[in-house]
Amino acid sequence: MSVKRTVLESLARQRLADLARSFEAEFSPSGMSKGDLIDGLARMKRTALEQLLPELSRDELKTACERLGLDTSGREKQVLIDRLKQDNQTWRQ
């Protein structure tokens, strides 16, 4: 499973809907299930991991790191973002 999909799966349904609106998704998030929102956001090119991660809160990033088995320590968002990006590079190889 991709890092992007794992990050999306770690978010609540309402947060996914908010992100879909924020990234101007070509689908209406209203009434969509969490799974459908994840699928829609995962397919969007505008929600590449590099664009998605800065939009997340520190707690959301920590949860994503935890799900991926990554170190969750660090007070700054950028440290967590860098870990997730590095894991994504490793996953792609």
What are the tens digits of pLDDT across the range 8-59? 999 999 999 999 999 999 999 999 999 999 999 999 988 899 999 999 999 9
Q: How large is the average pLDDT for residues 5-10? A: 96
DSSP for 51-75? Answer: HHGGGS-HHHHHHHHHHTT-----S
pLDDT attached to residue 1? 66
Distance CA 60, CA 11 (A): 7
pLDDT attached to residue 93? 47
Specify the amino acid at residue 35: G
Judged against a pLDDT cut of 90, whether residue 91 lies above it is answered with no
Per-residue burial over 40-57, b = 16 or more CB atoms within 10 Å of its CB, e = otherwise: bbeebeebebeebbeebe
